[in-house]
Amino acid sequence: MSLTGVPILSILTFLPLAGVLVVAVMPGSGPGAAKRFWSVGLAVSLLEFAISIPVLIAFDPAVAGMQFTEHRAWIESLGISYSLGLDGISLWLVMLTTFFVPLCILCSFTYIQKKIREYIISFLLIETAMIGTFLAMDLVLFYVFWELMLIPMFLLIGIWGGERRIYSAVKFFLYTAVGSIFMLVAIVVLYFHHQQATGEASFYLFSLLDLHIPVEMQFWLCAAFFLAFAIKVPMFPLHTWLPDAHVEAPTAGSVILASILLKMGTYGFIRFAMPLFPYATHQFIPIIAGLGVIAIVYAALVSWVQPDIKKLVAYSSVSHMGYVLVGLFALNMQGVQGGIYQMLNHGLSTGALFLLVGMIYERRHTRLMEEFGGLAKIMPVFATFLMIATLASVAVPGTNGFVGEFLILLGAFKSYPLLAIIATSGALFSVIYMLWMYQRVMFGPVDKPQNAGLSDLNWRETVTMLPIAVLIIVMGIFPGLFLRQMDASAERFIHTVKSRYQTYVALEEQRLPNGHQIALWTDLIPGEPEIREGVSPTHGGR
C-alpha cells in the first residue's frame, strides 16, 4: 500500500482536533445531547484508529529512518519547522494510542454523568497531543505537543476524579511543568549553540544531531532533558505524583495515563536525550539503570501492602516502567527491543487492569480488597479477563509480558549483571502481590451480601476488554510480528548513540594531557566490541 503524497501523519495528528471542533459547536440541550456527544467522540476515535491501519500496513520494516515524513517551514525566521516522521520506535506507540482512545471512551458511557461535552473534548484533545508528541521531529513542535497534553489531563483528573482530585491534578501539573521548564531552557541553549556553530537557526532534530556539543555543556543539557522525561516515566524518586493521579483519576483517565502518557517519558529518552547527548548519557547509565532497578523492587514491595486494588495497580505500574529503563539503558539490541516491547506490554496489561478495577468500582463503589471475595462464582467473564491481565502483568510465558521482560533481562545481563540479578527479584515480587490480589478478590466464599447480586460484564464492557485480551495473547505467542517492525530503527538508535559517543571520547582524549585515557562505559559491556573497532563515527543518518 502506497501513501505517497498523502499527508497521513498530519491527518493522524489533527483528526481528533477536528473532532473537538465538531463536538464544541454541537447543540448541547435536549435529552439526546449526551448520546450525540458520546457517538461523535467514539466515531472520531474509531476513524482515527482506522486511518492508522494503512500506516501500519504501508510501513517498511527494512527502513531504519523516518517514513511518511512531512517537513516545511513554520516560523522560518526562528528556524522552527513543521516536521513529522515515523519510524519503527514510534510506530507502535502511535498504534497503541489510536487503539486505546476509543476503548477509553467506550468504557466511560455509564461512569461519566456530568459535563459530557467537555469530557469528550478533553479526550480528543489529549489524543492529538499524544500523537503529535510521538511524531514531532522539531524540538519546538515536540515541546508544544508535550505541553498541550497537560491541559486535558489536568481537566480529566480535576473535574471527573475522586475526592482528592484537585490535589492530585495540581500535583500532576506541577511535577510535569517543572521538568518541562528545564527542558525548554535546554532546547533554547541548543538552538543558540547551533546558530553560533553553523550560522543557521534550527530546532530540527537531525540538524542538531550533526552538532558538536562540548562535553561540559552536554551534562547540563542532558540533565535538563533527563529530568523532564524522568518525571513523566516516572522514575524513582520522582514517582510520587503517579499513585495519587491514578487513584483519583476516572477510570479512562487512569488508563490513558498508564497506557500512553508514561511512555512519552521513555520515548523522549530514545528519540531526543540519548542521541543528542551521547557522552553524558553514557556517564549517567549506571545512575539511571540503578534507579530503574530500585523502582522495580521498591514499587513492587509497596504494591504488596496496598489494601486498595487501584493503588496496587498504580504502584505496579511504577515497578514495570523500571524494567523499561533498565532495558533501554542496557544499550544493546535485546535490551532496547525489550524496553520498547515492554512499553507496549505495560500499556496493554496495566490498561486492562485499570479498566477492570473501574468496572468493579462502578458496581460496588469501593476498591478495598477486603470488601470482595468469591467474585469468580458470580462474575466468571470478569474473572477470566482479570486473570489474563494478571498473568500478563506477572510475565507468564505465553503472554506479552514474558517476551518484554525476558528480552530486557537478557540485555541487562550483558551490560550490568548485578543489577539484572536484582531486577529479576522484582518479577518474583510481582507474582506474589498480583496473585495475592486475585486470590482475595476472586476466590473464597461470597461473604459480603452486597457482592451476591453483582452482575457480570455486559456487552459493552466485554467488547472493551476482548481486543486487549486478544492482543496480550498474540503478542505473547507471535512477538516477531511486532519486533520485526522495530528491528532496523532500534539498531540505528543503538549505533547512533554508541558511535557518537566514541567520537566524543576520541576528541576528549586529544584534548586531555598525553597519556591520559578515558574509560569507555562500553569496556564494561561484554560482547559489544563493535563500537570500539570496525565502526566509523557517524551521526546515524536520517
Residue 67: which H helix or E strand, with range? strand 67-75
pLDDT given at position 445: 84
Cα distances (angstroms) measured from residue 328 to each of 209, 285, 341: 19, 10, 11
pLDDT given at position 110: 84
Return the domain boundaries, the chain. 1-276, 294-542
Our separate counts of H helices and E strands in the chain read: 23, 2
Cα distances (angstroms) measured from residue 250 to each of 147, 222, 441, 467: 21, 34, 21, 21
Which amino acid does the sequence have at 477?
I
pLDDT given at position 535: 35
Spacing of C-alpha 312 from chain mean position: 19
Considering only CA atoms, give the Rg of the chain: 23
Which amino acid does the sequence have at 530?
E
pLDDT given at position 532: 34
- In the numeric block, which cell numbers belong to residue 377? 462464582
Measured distance CA(23)–CA(19) in Å, rounded: 6
Low-confidence ranges of the chain (pLDDT < 50): 515-542
Measured distance CA(265)–CA(225) in Å, rounded: 10
Q: How many CA atoms lie within 13 A of 533 on its CB side?
A: 3
Place of cell 582524549: 509
Measured distance CA(47)–CA(16) in Å, rounded: 9
Q: What angle do CA 128, 132, 133 make, to 5 degrees?
A: 120
pTM score, whole prediction: 0.89
Contact between 226 and 290 (Cβ < 8 Å): no
Measured distance CA(105)–CA(140) in Å, rounded: 30
- In the numeric block, which cell numbers belong to residue 141? 513542535
Measured distance CA(497)–CA(89) in Å, rounded: 15
pLDDT given at position 513: 58
Contact between 294 and 236 (Cβ < 8 Å): yes
Q: How many CA atoms lie within 13 A of 296 on its CB side?
A: 28
Nearest to 267 by CA among 346, 325, 183: 325
Strand, coil or helix: 61:
coil
